[in-house]
Structures are given as structure tokens and as C-alpha cells.
Structure 1
Amino acid sequence: MMGVLNHLSTLLLLSLLLPALSHVVEKFSDVKDCEKFFLEGTTPNLPGILVGGTVQDQNRYKPICQFYKDRYRFATLYDTTNRIPVFSAYTFTGKVVGRPSQSWMIEPQLEDINNQHDMKVDDKDFPHNQQAADTDYKNNNKHLDRGHLFPCLYAPDDAAKRSTFTLTNIVPQARSFNQGSWSRMECRVRDALELNCKDANDQIKAYVVTGAVPSNNNTLKNRVNIPDLMWTAYCCYNNNLKQWVAQAHWSKNVQDTNKKTLTPETWGSLEGELKNSYKVDGFQVFPKNCPRTVILSVLEDETGRNLEGVEEVEPGKRGAGKGAERGAEKGAIRWREHQGS
């Protein structure tokens, strides 16, 4: 009798543990350690795709709680039809310099291999019915890179950096765009997050969501959608200002010309851009306590003071402007003083 009870206890324990190990899920909220990548545990609202935390087409869109080396690293909503992520969500808590030499990985559970709870290094013998393969990106004649949504340079340690090298976190990105204006923007934002996103305990923490809008029929090797637009936004609490602050960027996924600069925008303006791209209304990237029309703008003043402040911007209007970008390019991140109410 005691043996039967022990066996039943073991089965009960396993039933409680297995859902925590699973990382292709029905809802991100199914895994508590996955919810933490979203501000207040609230996922973006994407009409027709993800509404109120529920995937609208569960055969096509798959929430992935990205699991690598014994823990969850970030969250991705993956489009198995286009074989690219809709978005990746992650927290920024500080950076570690360096880029590991890491082979590209895939998500076994997308191919119904459920006994594999970790990312797996891709190989040609692995099925790729629901996701991109590394060979899709190799030897392409369109000058496309494997473009990270959760950037390696934002990861807080070596294992987290390696976890970003999953093809479920990657889209085909125009090479000069990936290595040009998008890369420069990522570096500027990373520096801003380190300086600006500190809580009452002086700990760095920001919530970031980065996504891609798919094209209608532009594909890589007739398998992987080449997105039309890439976007990113962050929200964090600024203890000096005693308020939540936010910023967004986006750009068409085309080759760069003339070293263009991506200007900071409000995330309310980003939602308007997503409305235009998807031809549907109702987008919400962050919960409502994150300011939609207030932006932290980057400027260098004449005295070299380290200024902090916010600026209210009408939706669709540019934020910090050229002067701000020139200050950022110099490597000096200084915040614009708020004028007026």
C-alpha cells in the first residue's frame, strides 16, 4: 500500500512539474516565469493575433517561453506560417560585453518533439515544418542577415546571450539596415536603459518588446517571410523622475542609405504605425500606466549637465529630433528638461 502511495505521489509531482518545463504553451500566463517578461504580466494586444493574452489562431501562432540552460530567458510569439516571430519580449537588467560563438538553434516543440525542453542546435536532419532552418538563411542572394529581435547585446550574461541565437528569435533583415541604423539605435537605447531605467533600489530594469510586421508575399527561399517593418519599444520606471517612461523606434526593412538615423518616438505613435501596417485598430504594446504620449528625449546641453526630463509628443509627431540624435551619436546620453506643464 505504501508503495502505491509513493508511486501516486511521484506521478502527482511530475504532473505539477511538467507544465513548468514546457515552453511552447497555449498562453504565456501558463508559465509564471514567462509572465515576468511582460510589464505587469500583460502581453501586447495585437488584433487578430493576440487579444487579452489569448492567441486567436492557435494552429498558426505559438507562444514560446524561451528555455535555455535551466531557466526561461525571454518570450516569443511565433508565426509558424511565415516562419518568423511576431515579437520577442524581454527584460533589460544590464549588459555584458561580448558576443559568444554560438551555433544557431531551433525549437523542437514546434515540431511536436515534446521530450526536448531546451533549445536544440539546428541540423539538416531535423524537421523544419513549423519554423525556419539555418539553411534558409545561408547563401541567400538578397543581402539578408539573421536579424535578432531580442538582441544579443542586451543580454545580462553568457547563457542569456547564447539563448538569443534561436531561429525563433530571428527574421530576415536587410544587411546594411541590420548592421547600420538598427544597430546604432540598439546601442543608443541600451545606453539609455542603463542610465534611465533604475528603480528605488538603484537596480536596472526595463521591459522591452521587439517585433516584425510580415510582408504580403516577399519570402526568403520560398519559405521564410521577409518582414516589411521592424519595431521596438521599451517602458521602465525612472526613480529620479518618479514616473514610468517609454520610447519606441521602427523602420522599414530595407537596405540603409546615407547612414540614416532612427528617431525616438512615443509608443502611442508606434501603435498608430502598427494600425497602418496591419490595417486594423486596437493595438496596445504596454499596459495603460505606461505613458503613450510622453517620451524621454536625448539631448546634450551647452553646459554638459546630465539632464533628466520628459517631453509630451502628439501621436505621429517626431520626438527628440536631430539635435538629440547628434548628442547620442557622441556617446553622451543626457535627458531633455521638461518645459511647461
Structure 2
Amino acid sequence: MGLSNLLPCLSLAALLVALPDAARSEVIAQGEPGFGDCDAFFYQQTPPEGLGDLPKVAKICQKYRHQPHFATLYSTQDRIPIYSAFKYQEGTQCCPEEASWMVEPQIDDQKNGLAGMMPEAEVADSVNNLGTNQALTSDYVDSGYEAGQLNPSFLQKDDHQLATHSLTNSFPVKPPLQDVWHWEIENLVSRALAPHCENGKDLYLISGAIPSSHKVNDKVSIPESLWLAACCDDGSNTWSMGFIKQAAAEKRLEDLSLEELEKKLPEGTRLFKNNCGQDRHDPKKLEPVGKSVKKIKAEKPALQSKKSLPMPHQAPKEEECGFMKKLFYFVITPICRLLTFAIYMVVQIVKFIFYIFSTLLHMLITGLCTFLKTIASVLMHVFTSLIHVLVNIMNGLARNIYRVLMVIYRIVCVPLNLLVDILSFPFYVLGAVPALLHDIARGVSGLFMLLINGITNFVRCLSWLVTHIAKSILPHMST
């Protein structure tokens, strides 16, 4: 009897030691964008717009065994989920005995150090104010309502299926409505939506509940209506579809467009980014989906009640505890809590010391790297400056040598040019004699020709004069 009460305590303590990182909350802090590790369950990793602005809501990345399984926007005011975003997986039959209703400790007690969903029975005595902001199984006792799943377990498998048994994924529902809702959602997704979207590979699903003013045990809101939105994007084409259902068993799911569904939700709601890639919508892709939906809606729901997890009033009565058992429990429980707290504090202190050590080591390494980098930079600068000085010295020396050689050249060139001119003078003189003789001959011949031309012109002039005189005299003589 003692071991049975002590083992859970020791197991929890061992878990805190083995998994110190588990102290991180899976409830996303207010003001932080997205849903952390659960953004992958949203189309283009973008949560819906508008619904997150509702009062008193908490964003939960639903984790089980430290793995993300779906995302939930939970109303701490109505204690039901506003929506759950998930991906379809071909479900398998879940064994109720392997699952139990789980809660999210961080919603009620952010300092408890427990991460992710945990069975309510295991944390009932270790979480302060449990049930202040979320529903518990005791809220359904003798109410006539059961806990329905917004993200249905039969659309999941393995740990994803077990993770849906969280009270932050549940809402109050009458058994007839639950049977119809489960049958419709299961058949619509598995037979109409997923087969036309790579068997759910590219299918993004968001199921939601619209809370009403009616509450179970004056605590948990009863949904006014339930809805489902689907977005398929295969990379080239997209299609989308919406469904809504009034909270009555005889009401069937109504299919409508994504825009029409958003108009029935709070103003400003946008369920998928860019309206599920509206610019790439392909009506032809949507036609077979619509036909499959109409075919399923024409069928009569097979009201074979899904096996649900037992609520407290359904569980078999345990044997009454004896006085010694109760006394032992009241003695061991504080010791367990004290031991758990002590181990938790030791872990936190070790983590703090490790953080300080790692910070100092990081600062030391950073400072050393900066020092070495600065030294290397200075040495490189000195080396480059030295090379630059040597190059300038060699350049100046070369210029001076060039100038000296030019002066020597000019000095040597003066007598050399004079000597060359003196030696070449006779050759210049001899070379000029033929030209001179030629010029003299041309001058003499020119003078001779001038003399001949003068005599000729004189004779011609004299001849003309004689002839003119003779002509002027002879006619008078003949008369």
C-alpha cells in the first residue's frame, strides 16, 4: 500500500530530473505570435484571424509525450475550445482503457513546472486552483452531458489519437448529438474530403464551437453550433469548403463556402491565409468533393455510439479506504510533495548554475575570439603597411636611378651630337654640290632662254611697227 502511493511521487520526481526542459509551458504566452511548435497544423503556418481577439482565450500547443499533435484556441471564460486545428490521419480503433481524460496544468497554474497535457487524476493534488480556467470531469457529473471531442479521435491514430482525450479539446454534448456529429465528421473527412486531397496529406482542418449562454453546472458553456472548415492545397490548385451544424441531433451538417462560414462566425474572422489560396482555386477540383458530400448527407447516420471515456459518475466505485490507508496517505502525500519540490528546486538551481557557467563561458570565448580577431587585424595592418612602405622605397629608388641615367644620357649626348655633326659636315657639303650645279645650270639656261625670248620679241615688235607704217603710207602713194 505504501509503495503504491509512493511510486507516482517518485516517478514524477524522476521525470523532473530526467527531463528538465519539460518545465516549458505548452500554453503560448499572451502577445506571442502563432502556436509555437503547433504552427504546422495551420495552412501556411498561419492561425485564423479574428477568433484570437475574443476575451479570455488561451493558445495551446497540444503536446502529448513531448510531441505536438494539434493546436487549440481555448476559452477560459466558457471552458470549451473555440477551435482546434489538425491534420487528418487514417484513424484506428482506440482502446478506452489505454486513455484517460487529460488536462493542461499550465492554464490554471503557470508555475507548477508541468509541461503538456497530463491525466487529471495524476495532477489533481499537485496543481494549484485546478479547474479555475478549464473544465474538469467533475463538471459533467449528473449533468446529462458528455465530453465531446472537437478534434475527433477517430480521425487520428496512435499518440495523436490519445492526445485528443484532453478536456481542453472537449465540449458538453448530449449523447444523440455526439453520435450524429461524430458520424458526420468521420464520414465527411474520410470519404469526401481526404480522398480528393492526397488522402489528407495536403488537407488542413479546423473544427470549432460557438458557445452559448447556457452552461453545464453553471460553468461549462454548451455550444450553440459546431462547424468545420477544410482547405486543400496540392501546390498548384486549391479548394476549400465549410460546414456548420446547430446543436440539435436532428439537424444535419450544412455545407457552404468558406466565405459563407466566416460570415456566421465573429466579425473579422479569416480561417485560412489568403482564403486558402483563393487566386488558385479550381472549381473542377471542388466538383467531385461536392458530389461526395451530397452522397454522404443523403445517407442516414448509423448511430452506433462511439466508445467514450468514462466520467467519474460512470466509473466503478472503488473500495472504501480504511483508516490506516487514509492516515498513510495524509502522511506520505506531504512528504511526496516536499520531495518533489526539493528535487525540482535542485534541478532549477543546477539549471541556473549551468546557465551562469554557460553564459560566463560564452562571454569568455566571445572575448577571446574578439581579442584574437583584433590582434590578427592589427598584425595584418602592420604587415600590409610594411609592404606598402617597402614598395614606396623601391619606387622612389627606381625613379632616382632613372633621373640620374637621363642626366648622364643628356650630358653624353651633347658631344656625341656635335661630333656627329662635324663628321657629317663634308658629306652634307658633297651632297649639296650636285644640287648647286643643277641650280646654276637651270639659272644659266633660264638666262639664255630669257635673252632669246627678248630678241625674238624685239624683232617681232619691230616687224609689226614696220608693217604698220608701210600700210599707212602705201595707200596714199597709190592714190
TM-score under structure 1 length normalisation: 0.70
1:178 Cα deviation after fit? 1.3
Q: How many residues align?
A: 273
1:1-341, aligned counterparts within 5 Å? 21-26=24-29, 29=33, 32-46=36-50, 49-50=51-52, 55=53, 57=55, 60-92=56-88, 94-101=89-96, 102-114=99-111, 115-123=113-121, 125=125, 127-141=130-144, 144-155=145-156, 157-198=157-198, 204-216=201-213, 218-238=214-234, 242-254=236-248, 256-257=249-250, 260-274=251-265, 278=266, 281-290=267-276, 309-311=285-287, 323-325=294-296
Unaligned runs of 5+ in 1: 1-16, 298-307, 313-318, 332-341
* Equivalent-residue separation in structure 1 for 2:120 and 2:301 (angstroms): 40
* Equivalent-residue separation in structure 2 for 1:174 and 1:295 (angstroms): 38
* Equivalent-residue separation in structure 2 for 1:151 and 1:321 (angstroms): 21
* Equivalent-residue separation in structure 1 for 2:224 and 2:86 (angstroms): 22
1:291 Cα deviation after fit? 5.8
1:324 Cα deviation after fit? 3.3
**2:229 is matched by which residue type in structure 1?**
A
CA contact under 8 A between 2:152 and 2:164: conserved in structure 1?
Answer: yes
* Equivalent-residue separation in structure 1 for 2:35 and 2:151 (angstroms): 19
Find the residue that maps to 1:150 and give its secondary structure: coil
* Equivalent-residue separation in structure 1 for 2:252 and 2:278 (angstroms): 22
Identity level (%): 27
1:96 Cα deviation after fit? 3.0
1:100 Cα deviation after fit? 2.8
* Equivalent-residue separation in structure 1 for 2:294 and 2:43 (angstroms): 31
Q: 1:311 to 1:273 in 2, by over 3 A?
A: farther
Q: 1:133 to 1:291 in 2, by over 3 A?
A: same
1:69-120 Cα shifts (integer Å, max 9, x gaps): 121111111111111111111122x213112321101000011244101311
Aligned partner of 1:301 in structure 2 is: none
Find the residue that maps to 2:264 and give its secondary structure: helix
1:261-283 Cα shifts (integer Å, max 9, x gaps): 42422111111111xxx4xx211
Aligned partner of 2:377 in structure 1 is: none
* Equivalent-residue separation in structure 1 for 2:95 and 2:203 (angstroms): 23
* Equivalent-residue separation in structure 1 for 2:257 and 2:67 (angstroms): 32
When Rg is computed on C-alpha atoms for both structures, the one with the higher figure is 2
Q: 1:31 to 1:330 in 2, by over 3 A?
A: closer
1:321 Cα deviation after fit? 9.8
* Equivalent-residue separation in structure 1 for 2:239 and 2:197 (angstroms): 8
CA RMSD of aligned residues (A): 3.3
* Equivalent-residue separation in structure 2 for 1:19 and 1:69 (angstroms): 10
* Equivalent-residue separation in structure 1 for 2:277 and 2:21 (angstroms): 38
* Equivalent-residue separation in structure 2 for 1:263 and 1:295 (angstroms): 21
CA contact under 8 A between 1:229 and 1:253: conserved in structure 2?
Answer: yes
1:193 Cα deviation after fit? 3.6
**2:202 is matched by which residue type in structure 1?**
K
**2:91 is matched by which residue type in structure 1?**
V
Q: 1:40 to 1:310 in 2, by over 3 A?
A: same
Q: 1:329 to 1:293 in 2, by over 3 A?
A: farther
Find the residue that maps to 1:117 and give its secondary structure: coil
CA contact under 8 A between 1:294 and 1:311: conserved in structure 2?
Answer: no
1:29 Cα deviation after fit? 4.0
1:64 Cα deviation after fit? 0.6
TM-score under structure 2 length normalisation: 0.51
More strand by share: 1
Find the residue that maps to 1:246 and give its secondary structure: strand
